[in-house]
Amino acid sequence: MKNKPWHNVPAEAVEGMPGVSIRWVVGEDDGAENFAMRVFDVEPRATIPSHHHWYEQEMFILSGEGVAEAGGEEERVGPGSVLWVEPDEPHAFRNTGDDVLRFVCCVPLRND
């Protein structure tokens, strides 16, 4: 087992998404073979544009307020919201609050 403070993992800017950063808190460097855990920070009024991928995605909102968009529908999200996105489903996020929208996101490490 490993135990480390998530905030000690350096935040990286996400290319093409001003105001969005990511921390790879669990990944291959930790010995993970199947899944990565990431923490995203979305600054006020910043967005994660619509995108999709072959895998499902699970997210847990830690703090902030925003809107998640998927399947042509919008859902308000805030602390404690849990989201599941189907494989290949286009989805996007928008911070609508005055504070950082922070969420945990788990994705597969492999493409098989």
pLDDT attached to residue 5: 94
User: What Cα–Cα distance (Å) separates residue 43 from each residue in 2, 13, 50, 64, 95?
Assistant: 29, 12, 17, 9, 7
pLDDT attached to residue 30: 93
pLDDT attached to residue 112: 57
Phi, psi for residue 30 in degrees, rounded to 5: -90, -5
What predicted TM-score, i.e. pTM, was given to this entire model?
A: 0.92
Q: pLDDT digits over 6-30, tens only?
A: 999 999 999 999 999 999 999 999 9
Please give the residue range of the domain that contains residue 86: 23-108
Does residue 76 fall inside a structural domain? yes
Does residue 97 fall inside a structural domain? yes
With a cut of 50, list the residues of the chain below it in pLDDT.
Answer: none
Does residue 86 fall inside a structural domain? yes
Does residue 13 fall inside a structural domain? no
The CATH number assigned to the domain holding 81 equals 2.60.120.10
Number of domains in the chain: 1
Does residue 12 fall inside a structural domain? no
